[in-house]
Amino acid sequence: MTETQKLDDHELTAEELAAIEEQFDEGAAVRQVTPTTGKVLRVVALIFAFYEFFTAGFGLPADHWHMGIYLALLFILVYATIPIIGSQSLYALKVSRFRIGNIPLYDLVFMALGIIAALYVGFAWRGIPLLGIEEQTFRMGNPNGYDVFLGVIIILLVLDIARRTLGWVLPLIICVFISYALLGPYFPGLLQHPGVNFKTFVSSMYFPQEGIYGVTLWVVSTIVFHFVLFGVIAQRTGLGQLFIDNATILAGRYTGGPAKVSVVSSAFFGTISGSSVANTVSTGALTIPNMKRLGYPGHFAGGVEAASSAGGQITPPIMGAAAFIMAEFLEVPYTTIVIAAIFPALLHYVGVFAVVHLMARKLDLKGLTKDQLPQLKAVWAEGWANIVPLIGLLVVLFTGYTPFMSAFCGISLAVIAGMSRIKQPPTLIYAAAFLAFVLWKFSDGGFDMTMTAILCTLSVVATLNPQKRIEVPEMLQAVELGVKYSLAVGAAAAAVGIVVGVINTTGIGFRIGFMVTQGAGNLAADLYNMISFGSFQLFAMEDLQLFISLVFIAIVCILMGAGIPTTALYIMLVSVAQPALAQLGVPPIASHLFVLYYGVVSEITPPVCTSAYAAAAIANSNPFRTGLSAFTLGLGKVIAPMAFVYAPVLLFVSSTGFDLWEFTYTAASCIAGVIALSAAVVGFWLSPLNLVSRILMAIAGIIFVAPSLTADLVALAVASPVIVTQLIARNRSHSTA
């Protein structure tokens, strides 16, 4: 029996899919605890979610209190559920005098220290005369003994929870940054600086505005948590299934149908999920077995799903955590980032779709039959109400309200759509509560008449949901799962705050950025002399320097992305890329998105590509080959950043301005480049391509991405022999047929 047949005989159960997600999603695996302890932790998780939800709608406390409470709850759940090392034996349930509810005593000590250190900032903000502690304003830069002791504690514990949830790579890199701050005089050349006093360093890392209590933790605790929760609840209420059904209706009938369903459904699902692994498991459970039944190799089927799902972090309107942090760094509304990301995300999915289509043509794979497709009328008759929460979220977000208010409304509408039914009056309490909130905001001036009418209408419409209502235990389970998903990103945000603090304190970002541009400039000068012939210039010196700088930064992003989550990678590298690319005239939003996109590429780049490994587990295929397939399928994501750096018009909102004709021409050129590269990867366009033709198409594809008429003419000249031979071959096959 073949591998494919074995898989087809065995559909993966929900438990097996959950196990795959736990294996590959950061921080998803947890230690077993006793039933009583499990109930306590469940209550803590629900309190965590309710606190975040309540503050999103009714107002945030002071930053030092808000982030302190978030961090305290984070310490409780991480130390209670994630062992000190990743040994499977430490996840199992054990009985010992040194454990309470299977939580070791040392983890309980770490937990207590973390809670004290996290909440101390709030309690000591106005001073504690009894302990001789002055107001925080007088202690900034001159910390007392309590500040230093608890500051050191929280730095160590934050590094530890990042290590437990994400592995060793990120904490080790952060330790390098800490060493750089403290040992500045011992570094060579341009990297040398006077060094930061130890007490001053601890104070900067501990007190708000910089360090741990800085912008990264604020964004995650105030915005990202809510969108993670919305994605989980919306999926649980049926929005994810609605996306998959509609993707099947749209793409299932065409050549290579199930693979195209994977691309479309992952694009849809990516709009509500910032997690690549969750996206892979949710949609891949259906699409990967279907692709294998159709005839796609297992590694290719897994690669399609991984490449499509990795687009979740760059797919508007709900992108990954890094996009929200980007909005804070650039000091622009989040909607600006969403608009800028539209075309690059589209280019990524065009690339994946093109490879899938050409591979289906090459293997002569057919689409699904009519009886295998869901019925459009039946799908929408059953699931139409599940789109209401997403509509509410987007309306609030794009009307100028804060992202956390839009998430609050989206979550509320998702709960109503899942739990309130007009035919069951007691269940209307959820809708009534939200209506009361909306009317209160209207009376207080928070919502205008139009927004009030829209939200009231949506909440009433959601109660007409014909689907079976979700019971309270099921909804609480979904909320608990959303909290679980947020632990890793919260730990990463707190830890990476240290990096931001070091960068602001030492100026290392500008130093390394200068080194990058200088190195690229020297290499560009050498290349310029080699490829210039008298007065004839194939490329300008400035273009060469920019291209080499971009290649340097892209390589570092991909290499460092092996083991570091996208959010942390983005924060660390944008501090280097922004100064370097700004010197070369690249608009800020283009340089920030450039780093974000190459950080996401690392998710599908071997040897460490978690999304591809999760897909390989579902496809029962070789993980490394699956990773290679995912990388080649994601070529659109690889070249898109180069395109929008050279042509910021593709981002719509760049400071260089927007011109419709320029955008149309440049977009068409980029799409042509992606399709040419796809043909080169697959070895098929109108008919099979030989090795020389594939090389020519690959070269033409890369040149097409350069946004100029000259580059496009050169690309056409390179591709023309292939185009001519392909047309001749197709005509011959038609005449023979």
Domain boundaries along the sequence of the chain? 18-214, 672-737
Is the omega angle on the peptide bond into residue 606 within 30 degrees of 0, that is, cis?
Answer: no
| Residues in the chain, pLDDT under 70 | 1-29, 86-92, 95, 270-276, 278-279, 532-539, 561-563, 606-608, 636-637, 656, 734-737
CA 201 to chain centre: 31
3-state SS string over 440-461?
Answer: HHHHCCCCCHHHHHHHHHHHHH
Beta carbons within 10 angstroms of residue 732's beta carbon: 11
| CA distance linking residue 309 with residue 335, whole number of Å | 22
Scanning the structure block, which residue is given the tokens 């450039």?
A: 594
Q: What is the CA radius of gyration of the chain?
A: 27
| CA distance linking residue 495 with residue 515, whole number of Å | 26
pLDDT at 14: 61
Scanning the structure block, which residue is given the tokens 């998903």?
A: 485
CA 205 to chain centre: 26
| CA distance linking residue 243 with residue 660, whole number of Å | 31
Decide if 67 contacts 215 (C-beta within 8 A): no
Q: 421 forms bridges with which residues in the sheet?
A: 424
| CA distance linking residue 386 with residue 367, whole number of Å | 28
| CA distance linking residue 425 with residue 392, whole number of Å | 23
Decide if 613 contacts 330 (C-beta within 8 A): no
Please spell the DSSP secondary structure of 245-308, one letter per residue.
HHHHHHHTTSTTHHHHHHHHHHHHHHTT---HHHHHHHHHHHHHHHHHHHT--HHHHHHHHHHH
Q: What share of the chain is helix, strand, coil (3-state, %, to 5)?
A: 75, 0, 20
- Number of continuous H segments (helices) and E segments (strands) in the chain: 34, 2
CA 429 to chain centre: 35
Indicate the DSSP class of residue 402.
-
Tokens of 536: 């004839």
Residue 487 identity (one-letter amino acid):
L
Question: Which residue, 699, 566, 571, 579, is CA-closest to 639?
Answer: 699
| CA distance linking residue 355 with residue 377, whole number of Å | 31
* H/E segment holding residue 156: helix 145-166
3-state SS string over 497-564?
Answer: HHHHHHHHHHCHHHHHHHHHHHHHHHHHHHHHHHHCECCECCCCHHHHHHHHHHHHHHHHHHHHCCCC
pLDDT at 57: 92
pTM across the whole model: 0.86
pLDDT at 7: 41
| CA distance linking residue 331 with residue 313, whole number of Å | 20
Decide if 698 contacts 713 (C-beta within 8 A): no
Decide if 616 contacts 7 (C-beta within 8 A): no
pLDDT at 536: 60
| SS3 category, 50 | helix
**Between the CA of residue 289 and those of 24, 357, 418, what are the distances in Å?**
19, 18, 29
The string of pLDDT tens digits covering residues 161-186 is: 999 888 888 899 899 999 999 998 88
For residue 564, is it left (φ>0), alpha (ψ between -120 and 50) or beta? beta
Please spell the DSSP secondary structure of 553-581, one letter per residue.
HHHHHHHHTTTS-HHHHHHHHHHHHHHHH
**Between the CA of residue 338 and those of 228, 294, 296, 404, 733, what are the distances in Å?**
17, 36, 34, 15, 46
Helix axes 239-251, 276-294, angle to 10 degrees: 40
Decide if 564 contacts 525 (C-beta within 8 A): no
On the 0-12 / 13-18 / 19+ scale of CB atoms within 10 A, 591 is buried
pLDDT at 122: 92
Decide if 267 contacts 311 (C-beta within 8 A): yes
| CA distance linking residue 104 with residue 620, whole number of Å | 36
